[in-house]
Amino acid sequence: MSSAALDPVPADHTASEARYFNRELSWLAFNERVLAEAGNTAYPLLERLRFLSISGSNLDEFMMIRVAGLAGQVNSKVETLSIDGKTPGQQIAAIKAKVRALEEQQQAHLSELMPLLAAQGIHIAGESRIGTAADRWLRDYFLDHIVPVITPQAIDPAHPFPFVANQGIGLLFNLVRGDDGSRLLEMVLIPSAMPRFVRVPHSVQGDEALYIPVERLICRFAHLLFPGFRVEGDGVFRVLRDSDIEMEEEAEDLVRYYRTAIQRRRRGMVILLELDEPFDPEAEALLRDQLGLGQAIVTKTRGMLGLSSLSQVVGEDRPDLKFEPYSPRYPERIMEHDGDCFAAIREKDIVIHHPYESFEVVVDFIRQAAADPAVVAIKQTLYRAGNQSPVIAALTAAAEAGKSVTAVVELKARFDEEQNLKWASELERAGVQVIYGFVDWKTHAKISMVVRQEDEGYRTYCHFGTGNYHPVTAKIYTDLSFFTADPKFGRDAAKVFNFVTGYVEPQELEMLAISPLNLRETLYEHIDKEIENARNGRPAAIWAKLNSLTEKGMIDRLYEAGQAGVEVVLVVRGICCLRAGVPGLSDNITVKSIIGRFLEHSRIWAFANGYTLPSGRAKVFISSADAMSRSYNRRVEVLLPLRNATVHDQVLDQVLVANLIDTEQSWLQDGEDGTYERVAADGPGFNLHNYFMTNPSLSGRGEALADSHVPKLKLRRGAS
């Protein structure tokens, strides 16, 4: 902590629960904000359905990772307390209530959207719309495409209970034989490769789009599947399992370890059992007995299970029910140099704002390096690259062209482990030197480094990003790409790669701060400087844009800053364990969250540095790291200062200010109870996504927003 003395903290702020929000409950509050967008009447209908699907996918991952971790602690009798002082068991109890409430909200949104979509000719689970022709087509589809794939299995002493895979959907049928009245219980598991919805074609249904869930189709034609039996009861269920992969210290071969761990993931302990209601009581008792539920959460719903699969319906070709298509601009600075990335970067540092400016420029940077005979070496980190990666293709081409290419492939990127193993093998076959980094730490930093032979000698060109080298997410995540040929950045980038590939701890870094070495401490130093400025009567402010804020030390440092008189404004999209605006604790701290068409993903820090913000004298940084313990302790991350005046002002006066003054997509945190309410605008609202879609790009000649901002940010709550 700062050496400056603090005013005594009121006694009621010393307890952990009074100082911090629970991490897991804060995440659930974030997903509630995502889900609320499904009710945003300003959005087209299929976009609202998309947010409902995203909330379902988010909740699945939360259960498979976070809740699974807590359940594992309970089973192992680990009593580690959360930041707010809760045991794992207490957290699971609180999560259960929140999850059930969230699922009820999801079903309410689905019930609202279905008739609205039906009015537009899109019917989800619209069995009432099935006419004679559609019924005949569905019957043939069932016999030709479903029956050959599914495998009904009797549940009796002669047949062991079948394994239900993670995210598996199944049906249980209570059957009575027609000739002797004997009873039989049958299970049908739906293969994961089978589409969740069957869409009746236009040739049968006309202009209407009719989507029937595959499980409802199986129930509809169960008599064809079980001839000679009468169906007395049925039920649909869904299972989520523990999907986290724990790294074992003794793992000697990371590739072999992860290949086997991915297989084990599919058989993890059950974390969530979802049942439709009414579910056959006998079948439910069997499931509960056979699945070994333990700490699992069991929920029942009269609606649809597995809402993430609604993304299939969102793919319906109805542009009138979606956001108007947006085509990213190609950076003007690059075009001024006839597409020569190196010439543009050599002239001056460049910042690119994705998705408003095309990710293609990042790919072109690597492609040009691959084709340029003057390039001798390329080094690249890869955390998430997607299924179809032009970056991988460019690196492969560079290696095949005889260049020295090094790729740091992170095998521990959750849910991308299998894809990253595939890319690693492909790169190695092309002659790329593939490195897997540290056993205990994830390499999360986003760095590309190109070494080029020029007239005056070798010159290093660098790309640093706040987001992944992923062509799909780059279209929907807001991130920053920073290109530079500054030799100081080049020397530091080389040290980072040597650190990851050879465990050579970097010394005398000139520009970068790196976790787990000194990134957190660098931020602490700048916070302490703001505290010192405030106590000396100078302007003092901290603005930050993050995805998550959970690290106790950082939260305490920000509390100290606020109590010293520093204005602290935080734009935290997701989890935030800091309580804002609590008298005596965080009076000078404001926390807002932005949820909208694009997912806010960039990480930015700005420190007033003794001047009124925004100011060219402020200290501005971008980073690959969030304010989380894992980012500071168990990941290789980078924090870099923006020293170029143009880039500095573009990020501070445009990107950061736009986030701060947004009213149309912003939620304001109530530090007392942890709730978030939509921000209300005094006068016309401001939508930062619309602003950047309709104004010149950062690398062009865009005008700053600084004049539209008053330094003391005043926000007020609106109607939820």
Q: What is the pLDDT of residues 637-666, one digit of tens each?
A: 999 999 999 999 999 999 999 999 999 999
pLDDT band at residue 409, thresholds of 50, 70 and 90?
confident
pLDDT band at residue 534, thresholds of 50, 70 and 90?
very high
Annotated catalytic residue: which of 123, 444, 463, 601? 444
The percent of residues in the chain predicted with pLDDT above 90, rounded, is 66
Q: Does domain 332-508 have CATH number 3.30.565.10?
A: no
What's the mean per-residue pLDDT of the chain?
88
Q: What is the pLDDT of residues 327-370, one digit of tens each?
A: 999 998 899 999 999 999 999 999 999 999 999 999 999 999 99
Q: Does the structure show a pLDDT above 80 at 429?
A: yes
Can you tell me the distance from the alpha carbon of 473 to that of 670, in angstroms, rounded to the nearest whole number?
Answer: 31
The total of other beta-carbon atoms located within 10 Å of residue 700's CB is 15
Q: Does the structure show a pLDDT above 90 at 160?
A: no
What's the whole-model pTM score? Answer: 0.89
Specify the residue for token string 């986030």: 659
pLDDT band at residue 290, thresholds of 50, 70 and 90?
confident
Q: Does the structure show a pLDDT above 50 at 457?
A: yes
pLDDT band at residue 719, thresholds of 50, 70 and 90?
very low
Can you tell me the distance from the alpha carbon of 111 to that of 123, in angstroms, rounded to the nearest whole number?
Answer: 12
Per-residue pLDDT at 555 = 98
The domains spanning 126-303 and 332-508 adopt the same CATH topology: no
pLDDT band at residue 11, thresholds of 50, 70 and 90?
very low
pLDDT band at residue 268, thresholds of 50, 70 and 90?
confident
Give CATH for domain 126-303. 3.30.1840.10
- What are the start-end ranges of the H helices in 579-686? 629-633, 645-649, 657-661
Per-residue pLDDT at 249 = 40
Q: Where are the domains of the chain?
A: 126-303, 332-508, 514-717
For residue 9, give both structure tokens: 């903290």
Respond yes or no on whether the N-terminal peptide bond of residue 152 is cis (omega within 30° of 0).
no
Q: Does residue 194 contact residue 214 with C-beta atoms inside 8 Å? A: yes
Burial 304-335 (b: 16+ CB within 10 A, else e): bbbbbbbbebbebebeebbeeeeebbbbbbbe
Q: Does residue 462 contact residue 492 with C-beta atoms inside 8 Å? A: no
What are phi and psi for residue 134, nearest 5 degrees? -65, -40
Per-residue pLDDT at 8 = 40
Q: Does the structure show a pLDDT above 50 at 51?
A: yes
Per-residue pLDDT at 712 = 45
Q: Does residue 169 contact residue 305 with C-beta atoms inside 8 Å? A: yes
Q: What is the pLDDT of residues 554-591, one digit of tens each?
A: 999 999 999 999 999 999 999 999 999 999 999 999 99
Can you tell me the distance from the alpha carbon of 522 to that of 473, in angstroms, rounded to the nearest whole number?
Answer: 30
Q: Does the structure show a pLDDT above 60 at 91?
A: yes
Q: What is the pLDDT of residues 465-482, one digit of tens each?
A: 998 877 888 899 999 999
> What CATH topology corresponds to 514-717?
Endonuclease; Chain A (3.30.870)
Which residues are paired to 165 by β-bridges? none
Higher pLDDT, 120 or 720: 120
3-state secondary structure 525-567: HHHHHHHHHHHCCCCCEEEEEECCECCHHHHHHHHHHHHCCCE
Sheet strands (E) in 112-182: 122-124, 153-154, 168-177
Which residues are CB-neighbours of 337 under 8 A, at least 6 positions away? 343, 344, 347
Per-residue pLDDT at 227 = 93
Per-residue pLDDT at 9 = 40
Q: Does the structure show a pLDDT above 80 at 683?
A: no
Q: What is the DSSP letter of 616?
A: T
pLDDT band at residue 716, thresholds of 50, 70 and 90?
low
Active site residue 444: yes
Averaged pLDDT for residues 232-260: 63
Higher pLDDT, 415 or 224: 224
Count CA within 13 A, CB hemisphere, residue 284.
Answer: 14
Per-residue pLDDT at 216 = 94
Per-residue pLDDT at 180 = 87
Q: Count the residues in the chain.
A: 720
Per-residue pLDDT at 598 = 95
The percent of residues in the chain predicted with pLDDT above 70, rounded, is 90
Higher pLDDT, 268 or 496: 496
Q: Does the structure show a pLDDT above 90 at 547?
A: yes
Higher pLDDT, 82 or 469: 82
Q: Does the structure show a pLDDT above 90 at 435?
A: no
Per-residue pLDDT at 14 = 61
Averaged pLDDT for residues 295-307: 89
Q: Does the structure show a pLDDT above 60 at 262?
A: no
In degrees to the nearest 10, what's the CA dihedral of 125, 126, 131, 132?
Answer: 10
Choose the weakest-confidence range: 176-180, 214-218, 560-564, 576-580.
Answer: 176-180
Averaged pLDDT for residues 49-68: 93
Q: Does residue 254 contact residue 438 with C-beta atoms inside 8 Å? A: no
Q: Which of 397, 529, 399, 389 is nearest to 468 (CA)?
A: 389
Q: What is the DSSP letter of 253?
A: -
